[in-house]
Each structure stands twice: as C-alpha cells, then as structure tokens.
Amino acid sequence: MADLWNDVILQQYEASLCTLNHCIVQSPEAAWQGKVVNLTFDQAVFHTLFFTDYYLGKTPDDFKQQAYHQQRADFFADYEEMEPRRQVQRYTKESLDDYLQYCRRKAKETLAAESADDLAAPCNFPPKTFSRAELHVYNVRHIQHHAAQLIMRLRMDYQIHTPWFGSGWQS
C-alpha cells in the first residue's frame, strides 16, 4: 500500500509543482515585482518552494545542512523565511526555476524512500502533530494555495490563463 500512496502523492507533488512552474514561466517582468498578498510575486514563489523543501525533509534540523543550501548560501542568506518578519530578499526567475527543479528531485527521492512505517510515524515538525503521510498532503496543499494566489494575479492583471495540470504532466 505504501507504494501506491507514494505514487499517488508524488503525482500530486508533480502536478502542483507544474502549476507553480507555469506561474514562474508565464509571469511578465512587471508581475514579478508586483504584490501577491503581503509578498512580491518572486517572494511568494520562493516562500512556496522553501517550505516545500523544508517539509520534504525528515526533521527541521536537516534543512540548512543540505548540500543544495550549503552551495547556495547567498540564495538562502539568513533564512528570513524562518523568522517572524517581513521578507526583503528578491529572486530571479532562473534561481527559482533551479530551486523548483531541486524540489522536484527531492520529492521523488523522498517518496521513493518512504516506507509504510515512515508514513504512519509522527511528522517531527512541531507544532504539527499529524503523521508523515498527512505532512505530504499538507505540503501539496500549501503549494496549491500559493499557486492559486499567483494564478489569480496573472489572470486578473495580465489575462494569462493557467491550464489544469494533472497526473502525468511535466512542465
């Protein structure tokens, strides 16, 4: 059953990340600096990928120790996303596309390694008290939540249509 679950949730990660990728690719330069709720478009994309990456880990302590983070210290800077303060760092499309590809690979690797016992265990991300399996659902919902905000900006301000990305898409 864990294999079926891993396949299903991986397809949902992929569909969500395809949606987010579409927003990055289709965003005009004017939108990139525009507001999306209390962040700029680029910051909202970074926030989404940052927490995708974070929750794909086994524990919060592993997050900053990843080789990807160590090799891109300037990109992650002082990890302002982890602080209760206004984000100020800005991001290029290229850097966020690279981060999205990293998150895709990490999702595949993480889900390939998850056993039924892993999925049933507590998620180890306080204060969340649910299982690792539910953390994956939570993570996909988070991606979709912010992708919907980005889609709304693109649609309202630039009349850019976003297609539905489902199982089997690659964007």
Flag whether pLDDT at 18 surpasses 90.
yes
Confidence of residue 3 (pLDDT cuts 50, 70, 90): confident
Tell me the Cα Rg of the chain.
Answer: 16
Of residues 2, 12, 46, 57, the one with CA closest to residue 169: 12
Tell me the pLDDT tens digit for each residue of 89-125: 999 999 999 999 999 999 999 999 999 999 999 999 9
Going from the C-alpha of 48 to that of each of 65, 101, 121, 142, the distances in angstroms are 19, 13, 25, 7
The percentage of the chain sitting over the pLDDT mark of 70, rounded to a whole number, equals 96
Question: Could you report the per-residue pLDDT of 64-83, keeping only the tens digit for each?
Answer: 999 999 999 999 999 999 99
DSSP state of 62: G
Coil, strand or helix at 88 = coil
Q: What is the number of other CB atoms lying within 10 angstroms of the CB of residue 137?
A: 13
Segment 122-158, tens digit of pLDDT: 999 999 999 999 999 999 999 999 999 999 999 999 9
pTM as predicted: 0.95
Kindly list the structural domains of the chain, giving each domain's residue range(s) and its CATH number in brackets, ordered by start.
2-158 (1.20.120.450)
pLDDT at 96: 98
- Half-sphere exposure of 105 toward its Cβ, with a 13 Å CA cutoff? 7
pLDDT-derived band at 170 (thresholds 50, 70, 90) equals low
Higher pLDDT, 171 or 87: 87
Q: Look at the block and give the residue holding tokens 């209760």.
A: 84
Q: Is the pLDDT of residue 2 over 80?
A: no
Beta partners for residue 131, in sequence order: 122
| Dihedral (CA of 109, 112, 115, 116) sign | positive
